[in-house]
Amino acid sequence: MARGIKKDTAHVDTWMKDVAPSTTLRKWFNHEPEKWQTFISKYQHELKELAVFDELVALIRKHKSVTLLYGAKDDLHNQAVVLKKIIDSL
């Protein structure tokens, strides 16, 4: 999905904003690749604490297809990459 698309025009069935990294973690990471491995660990830990993550897993198991959105300019170092890896392991 291209940057700059608004939520209202994205035609998204379910918007799970709470699955995103916390503001604290996002600001700490600051898309600095040298922090990537630590970011992954911290983000996975955050996800385990979120009830909404269980909802995401349930949706994936039901529909078998999801689209992950992210606002980062870096296609390799963002939360969608982490989520995809987790989803692929289900």
Within-domain flag for 6: no
Within-domain flag for 1: no
Write down the pLDDT at residue 53: 86
Q: For the segment 59-79, what is each residue's pLDDT rounded down to a tens digit? A: 888 887 788 888 888 999 999
Within-domain flag for 78: yes
pLDDT at 38 over 60: yes
Report CA torsion sign: 70, 74, 78, 84.
Answer: positive
Contacts of residue 79, Cβ cutoff 8 Å, sequence gap at least 6: 19, 20, 21, 43, 70, 72
Q: Residues 9, 53, 36, 23: what is their CA dihedral angle, to the nearest 10 degrees?
A: 70
| pTM summary value | 0.82
pLDDT at 4 over 50: yes
| Count of domains observed in the chain | 1
Within-domain flag for 26: yes
Q: Structural domain of residue 76, as residue ranges?
A: 19-88
Within-domain flag for 61: yes
Write down the pLDDT at residue 1: 44
Write down the pLDDT at residue 15: 82
Provide the 8-state DSSP code for 29: H
pLDDT confidence tier of residue 44, bands split at 50, 70 and 90: very high
